[in-house]
Every structure is written in C-alpha cells, then in structure tokens.
Structure 1
Amino acid sequence: MSAVADAMLMVPAARVRAQILSILLAWGMTPDLAETTARMMVETDLLGVDSHGISMLMTYEARYREGRLNLQARPRIVQESAATALVDAGAGLGHPVSVFAMNLAVDKAMQCGVAVVGVRNSHHFGAAGIYARIAAERGAIGMVTSATRGIAMVPTRGAVPVLGTNPLAFAAPAARNRPFVLDMATTTVAAGKVKVHHLNDRPVPAGWVMDGAGESVTDPHRAHEFVMQRPEGGLTPLGGTPEMASHKGYGLAMMVHILGGTLVGASFSPIRNRTQSETDPDGLGHFFMALNPAAFRAAGEFEADLDSAIDVLRATPPADPQKPVLVAGDPEEAARARRLQEGIPVPPALDRLIRGICDRGKVDYLLG
C-alpha cells in the first residue's frame, strides 16, 4: 500500500458537509444557499466524483477572493413561458440556481409534457449528473448541459486547447431498477480527474492528456500543468483517436456549449478570457430539460419498458465473470453505498489545501 493510501483520511459525509458549510458561511454566503451548495457538493463526493466535490473549494476560494462571486445572489426568472424559462444566477455559485432551475423545469414538464430552463450569469455548478438525478427522482427524464470556464480541450488536429470539458448528463426513472444516469465530460476525461491524480500522486492513463506536440502525458503533475496552466497541450476530445472519433467528441462539446452557453447568452471561454477583467464573474450558462413520460405513455409504461431494457443489459454474459456488466449510474451508486459506510476519501494533499482554506477563513478545521 502506498504512503498516500496509508495517510488517506476517510471522513463521514456529515463531517464533510459541515466543513464545506462552515467555509461557505465564513465567506458570507446566505445560509440557505450555502446549505444547498454543501448538500450538492457532498452528494457529488458520495457518488465518487471526487473532482467536483470538496476538492472544488480551492477554485471557489479563488473566485471569492478575486471578487467574482456574489454569495448572496438568488435565482431570478427574467423570461418565462408555460414550457420555458431563463434564469439569472446573479453571479452566484452554480449549485443553488441549478437545483432551482431543474426543479422548475420538472414543474413545467408535469404541466406541459416537456420544458427547458436556461441559466445565465452563473459559476461552476459541480457535477451535471446530480441535477439530472433530481428530475429522475421526481419521475421525469432530465437532461443537463453546461458551458465551462476553463479552456482544456484540444480540438481535432489542434495543438492548443480551445474548449472546456463541457459536461452532459441524462437521467431517466425506472420502476424496479435505479434510474439510468449518464454523466460525462465531452473530453476523454474531465479536467478535475487529472486534478485528482495530481492530488493522489497517481499516474495519468495514456491518452487523457497530450502536450503541444501531440504526445501523451502520464506524469500526474506535468499533466496537471498542461490542463490547468500551460497555453499548449491539454485534454483530448471524447473518443481520443482515431481522428474521426476525436472529431465527433469535439463536435459534441460544441453542441453542449451551444445549448448551455450560446442559447442562454453565456460567455464562450476563449472570448471571455481575452475580454474580461480579473474581477468579472465567470458568466457561465447551464441548460436543463425535463420530459414527463406521462405525456407520451400511459402511467407506468415507460418505467416498465426501461426496467425491461435495463434487465437485458444486466443479463448480458460478462467477459470476466468477476466483473458484471455495468449500466450507466452503477459505479456512482456503488461508490455512494460504500462511502456512506466507510467515509469520503480525502488524500493528504487535498487535506493540506483544506486546512489552508480554514486558516485563511478563520474557520475550524473539521475533517480530521
């Protein structure tokens, strides 16, 4: 076992939530908005998406100290019809406005059959899948996309990054089975996954990150530099190679930006980085769509058919008998069950960073 694994903290979810909440409140975030943000961040960590939970506090602290965040901002509907709405996040963190927007989309879909709610003037919202799950938990099909702040994806035939990881999530409710939940980046892997390897001092798999010459980078710290700091190199599009697969991943990323960015009037990261000052809000956009199965099928038919489809997938003979066939959402649910029992892992490097945030914010350190 490595020294990193030996020193890994396993922290109960309630304590992780309390730590996040105490930091957000110390920064001046309105209590109910902070409660929502902490809850969604902890749920992300429970699902095993370590790149988008408590490890995002360093980025949020930077935005807070740069004066970019409005931690008292409440979601405000600026345009609305029976089946659509545009919501202004007021330059707040993306978690509260995203919970609001997804629930609003479901409310409208239950009346109209389908609804879309767009969000503008937001910041990072964490993992897209946690919002798609809200729809499925309420009996609706949910789809979520978002524009991103960072520039990490190197386009097909490119040498420098242009796009972000531009996430896409989809969730659908079943009856007997857990919801089908797809949560993905449009890069081969999310930038935050490279951060996790950097924090854990663990090699990055070949094909995730390439340098300016198009060569794969596996050293976790060098890969982190290429993704987060360097003007050349970065993450490969979903599909990696060959070129056509890479091109489709790159096109998918642009589709996500069109929905989560262009449609709602959010900024495009390469343009924003050239035109905004160091204190301007990130100006991100998000897209939330909800579909009511009852608008298309008799009550329960959709869920029953999805159960049947999932059953067929689970019954597929596995190539390795020790590894059953997975359905989208299975790894996250397995992680959640395990982490509720064992705690959320916090590697030493992340623990030191959280301690620093607590020191600067004059907040009690609660993880250890």
Structure 2
Amino acid sequence: MNVPHERVRAQIEAILHAWGMEPDLVQTTVEAMAETDLMGVDSHGISMLMTYEKRVQEGKLKLNARPRIEKQNACTALIDAGAGLGHPVSAFAMNLAVDKAKEAGVGVVGVRNSHHFGAAGVYARIAAKRGAIGMVTSATRGVAMVPTRGAMPVLGTNPIAFAAPAKRNEPFVLDMATTTTAAGKVKVYDLNEKQMPAGWVLDGKGQPVTDPRRGFQIVFDEPEGGLSPLGGSPEMASHKGYGLAMMVHILGGTLVGSSFSPIRNRTQKPEDPDDIGHFFMAIDPNAFRSPGEFENDLDDVIDVLHATPAADPARPMLVAGEPEEAERRRRLKDGIPIPASLDHLIRGICERSGAAYLLAPREAGAP
C-alpha cells in the first residue's frame, strides 16, 4: 500500500514516544527517518524500527542520550553521542560543522559512541541547504563486506555522502555505500520478495546469490559470504571499493575513537552499545570564492551534464541527487510504498510498545 507521508511520520513518532524518547529528540529523529523514506531510500527509514526495537530491548540503545562535546577548537570538535540513536547527534554534528565553517572556512566534527544514523545523505543535505559543501562518512555496526580475495566479511557497508549547493539547480548530492549495494537494500528486496541482481551478495564460495531470502540470511545471519565491494569485478575494481571502505572507516571510526566491528564483536558484552563513529565535514565556498561564484560555476557544470546527449532519449541525463528529489516529489503526491510484510512488522511493534497503529486508514465501523 502507498501511505501518505504524514501518516508515516506520525507512525514513527508514535513508536518513538511509546519507547520513552523525549519529544525534541523524537522530532529530530522523525525528520531524518521520514525524509529518508520520501527520497526512496526504503532501507533506512521506517523499516529500521525493527532493528531499533531490538537494540532498545537489549539495553544497548539509550534513547534519551544527548550529544556532549568532549573537545573542540575553532575548526574541529569531538562529540560523545552517549550511546544514543544516531539521528539527533548527527544533525547536531553537521550543523556544528557548518557553524565552524562559516567562521573559519572549514569545520570537521567527529562523533563516537553512537548508533545507526539512517541515510548519510540526509546530513550532507543539511550543509548544502545552509550554503556549505558537506561530506559525511560513518563506520557501521554490521560486518557485511567480503574484501577482495576474501571468503568472509570483515568491513561494513561504510557509507559516504557529499553535497554541494547550486543556485538554479538542485544541489549535487552523492550518497552511497562502499559495497555494491547497502545491506538494507537486501532487506528491502526480501520484504518485497523480489529477486536480487547477481553480484550484490556472494556466498561463502564467492558465488553470486540472487534469492532475496537466502541473501538476507547470508548478510545478516551467517559468518561466511556477504556483500561485494563497490566495483564488484574485475579484481582491481573491487580492490578500490574495498580500499574506499577502509578510508571511510578510518575517518568515521578510527579517527574518532569508535570501534571496529570485527574487534568489537569478539570483545563486547551483550549489553554494550554499538559504539559507531561518524565523521562530518563542512566547507564554506566563500572561503575560496567571492559570494555566489561557486554556486554559479556549479550551475554551469550541471547544465553541461544535463545537455549531454542521452543514449536513450526517453531517459535524459541525471546528476547525483536528482533521482532522490524526483522521488521525493512523487512520494509527497502519491505516498510512501509500504509492503505488506513491513506493515505486519510495524503492527507487531505497535502491539508490543502500546503505540497506536497509524499506517492504514481505519476501516468503516472499526473501533
């Protein structure tokens, strides 16, 4: 079913309130999660509530933790997320990075002791909306990527996002995993019972898996096999994807003092938080150019890309960020698709938490 975005927002909000999250933290989290669903990133919005519920039940996730600045100077800051959900601290960190960039030209903010923060592009877009260039990277909780020549996963999907503001055009926004696809997208294919493209998931012998249920089991439950690095094959292409994932972890994990999943999984106690790290950078274009020059030049670059002859006239050239903006407009009009399997899981969360179920309209005569 297609659900109006207002109802999806209200459902996420109702569940977070039922779990005891404080109102201002709820609003920041709902904003990030609902925007993610509107942009078509179905793996990182409302479908993450099952994972968050599990973390709350395990005692790993402190929903009312507030960001605490541990150290800072004119350009940098390190924030302790207090084992809270990643959305509030990430919005705070990106805005702090932009504030510093407006004063010093560049701002770099690291976050440690966090949890899953949703889609990295949400936070890169915060910078672009405020007239800055933004870059976001993050370590991950899961171990899903099989490195080049490997037979078992070692790294996570380790996302990276980059956004830059234009004037006439939509901002340029790149938001990507460093695996061929995000682990959450395997979950979406499983929820929709849709066959996966070959090359996304590899079994323990390095063979491609296209069955979504089997792929889900490999990525989320089994010690061997996993997601291929960005580039898939040939070997050098996947090696570069694997190296990119390492770069992202160095910035979003090692630099900020957060955990490396294979080590954490061997040493942590059941109740220990995930200790995920994030990295946020903002650059003020006015530190390099006169006001408006950067945005004007970026518009010219994007115009040239748009004018590139299309191989298929029915499918014109697109620039990174435009598909998500088009999907956002479409979903604002037509609603957010919620597969029956996900709807069933959300109903279960509502029953367990005492939250009102709000996704489907009430049938006539129903209490």
TM-score bin (small chain): over 0.9
Q: How many angstroms apart in 2 are the aligned matches of 1:339 and 1:139?
A: 26
Q: Indicate the RMSD between aligned Cα atoms, in angstroms.
A: 0.5
**Once superposed, which parts of structure 1, at least 4 consecutive aligned residues long, lie more than 4 Å away?**
none
- Which amino acid is 1:33 matched to? L
What is residue 277 of structure 2 aligned with on the other side?
285
The Cα of 1:30 is off from its aligned counterpart by 1.0
Query: Paired residue for 1:269, among 257, 261, 267?
Result: 261
What is residue 3 of structure 1 aligned with on the other side?
none
Query: Paired residue for 1:247, among 233, 239, 244?
Result: 239
- Which amino acid is 1:190 matched to? A
What is residue 80 of structure 1 aligned with on the other side?
72
SS of the residue corresponding to residue 142 of structure 1 reads strand
**Over residues 324-356 of structure 1, what are the superposed CA-to-partner deviations in whole Å (9 max), with x where a residue is unaligned?**
011000110111000000001000000000000
Structure-to-structure mapping, 1:1-368, within 5 angstroms: 9-368=1-360
TM-score (norm. length: structure 2): 0.98
- Which amino acid is 1:26 matched to? A
Q: How many angstroms apart in 2 are the aligned matches of 1:292 and 1:360?
A: 46
**Over residues 118-142 of structure 1, what are the superposed CA-to-partner deviations in whole Å (9 max), with x where a residue is unaligned?**
0000000000000000000000000
SS of the residue corresponding to residue 197 of structure 1 reads helix
Q: How many angstroms apart in 2 are the aligned matches of 1:56 and 1:278?
A: 20
**Over residues 20-40 of structure 1, what are the superposed CA-to-partner deviations in whole Å (9 max), with x where a residue is unaligned?**
011111111111001110111
The Cα of 1:304 is off from its aligned counterpart by 0.5
- Which amino acid is 1:232 matched to? E
- Which amino acid is 1:171 matched to? A
TM-score (norm. length: structure 1): 0.97
Q: How many angstroms apart in 1 are the aligned matches of 2:204 and 2:322?
A: 36
Q: How many angstroms apart in 2 are the aligned matches of 1:92 and 1:35?
A: 14
**Percent identity of equivalent pairs:** 74
- Which amino acid is 2:121 matched to? G
SS of the residue corresponding to residue 39 of structure 1 reads helix
SS of the residue corresponding to residue 207 of structure 1 reads coil
- Which amino acid is 1:109 matched to? A
SS of the residue corresponding to residue 28 of structure 1 reads coil
**Over residues 34-86 of structure 1, what are the superposed CA-to-partner deviations in whole Å (9 max), with x where a residue is unaligned?**
11101110000000000000000000000000001111111110100000000
SS of the residue corresponding to residue 367 of structure 1 reads coil
**Over residues 97-148 of structure 1, what are the superposed CA-to-partner deviations in whole Å (9 max), with x where a residue is unaligned?**
0000000000000000011000000000000000000000000000000000
- Which amino acid is 1:347 matched to? P
- Which amino acid is 1:11 matched to? V
Q: How many angstroms apart in 1 are the aligned matches of 2:323 and 2:220?
A: 27
- Which amino acid is 2:30 matched to? A
- The unaligned stretches of length 5 or more in structure 1 are 1-8
Q: How many angstroms apart in 1 are the aligned matches of 2:19 and 2:357?
A: 15
Q: How many angstroms apart in 1 are the aligned matches of 2:31 and 2:337?
A: 17
The Cα of 1:277 is off from its aligned counterpart by 1.3
Q: How many angstroms apart in 1 are the aligned matches of 2:97 and 2:186?
A: 33
The Cα of 1:289 is off from its aligned counterpart by 0.1
- Which amino acid is 2:84 matched to? G
Q: How many angstroms apart in 1 are the aligned matches of 2:317 and 2:170?
A: 15
**Paired residue total:** 360
Q: How many angstroms apart in 1 are the aligned matches of 2:350 and 2:115?
A: 22
